[in-house]
Amino acid sequence: MSSTVEIIKSKVTAIFAHDTTGHDWFHIERVLKMAEYLQSKEGGDLEIIQLAALLHDISDHKMNGGKLNAGGQVALELLSDLNYDSAKSQLVKEIVDGVSYKGAHVQDALKTLEGKIVQDADRLDAIGAIGVARAFAYGGSKNRPMYIPNLTPTMHASFEEYASSKSHTINHFYEKLLLLEARLHTETAKQIGKERHTFMEQFLEQFYNEWNSKLN
């Protein structure tokens, strides 16, 4: 790991240490490890991938009071404080700015291999058992109800609409989580994503069965 990656890692560890909304340091660490694994199978510039994975949630709109594209600038400033190569910093900034999901009908695919790998790693951590846990942790932190049967999901057409949605957490599965598998880029991520996607479908089936069970 290069010294720039080491320094950014210790700064990010401190910043995310106390989060309880599903964006804690362990999320960043899982994304970093997954991105490194994907890079080992798919290629791409390891240092850019590590920096973008570490910085991808640095100023997320869900945590910064609603500013939609602030993260890239914060990442750029942290890297320029370390006199990091400016062309590489720009590539990291573009990944941080573009990584987030923005709604069912909003195109969000990143263009570079490094971007695709970080986006895949972030999305794999939003699905499967950890994805289920993070969704309810996040929903609880925003005072969202777990489920309201008559409130159906919305397929959002803009980032603003998606970001301001205040629905219950089960809807989030239809508005985002179940749509992520089809948006994975790399073959390695698609293989991992398949099992995690199936697990969420099974979770929902079990959830509705328990919700609707008529005892005696």
Q: How many residues bind ligand ADP (CB under 6 A)?
A: 18
Among 79, 118, 135, 170, binds ligand ADP (CB under 6 A): 135
**DSSP three-state, residue 37:** helix
Q: Are 61 and 70 in contact (CB under 8 A)?
A: yes
Exposure string of 187-214, with b = 16+ CB inside 10 Å and e = fewer, is: ebbeebbeebbeebeeebeeeeeeeeee
Q: Which of residues 23-62 bind ligand ADP (CB under 6 A)?
A: 23, 57, 60
> Dihedrals φ, ψ of 84, to 5°?
-75, 150
Instruction: By CB under 6 A, tell whether 196 contacts ligand ADP.
Output: no
Residue 32 or 84: the one with the smaller Cβ distance to ligand ADP is 32
Choose the stretch contacting ligand ADP; rule: CB under 6 A; options: 41-49, 65-73, 90-98, 130-138: 130-138
Instruction: By CB under 5 A, tell whether 122 contacts Ni ion.
Output: yes
Q: Are 166 and 189 in contact (CB under 8 A)?
A: no
Among 5, 57, 89, 95, binds Ni ion (CB under 5 A): 57
Radius of gyration of the chain (CA): 18
Residues lying near Ni ion in the complex (CB under 5 A) are found at: 57, 122
Residues lying near ligand ADP in the complex (CB under 6 A) are found at: 22-23, 57, 60, 99-101, 122, 126, 131, 134-135, 138-139, 144, 169, 172, 177
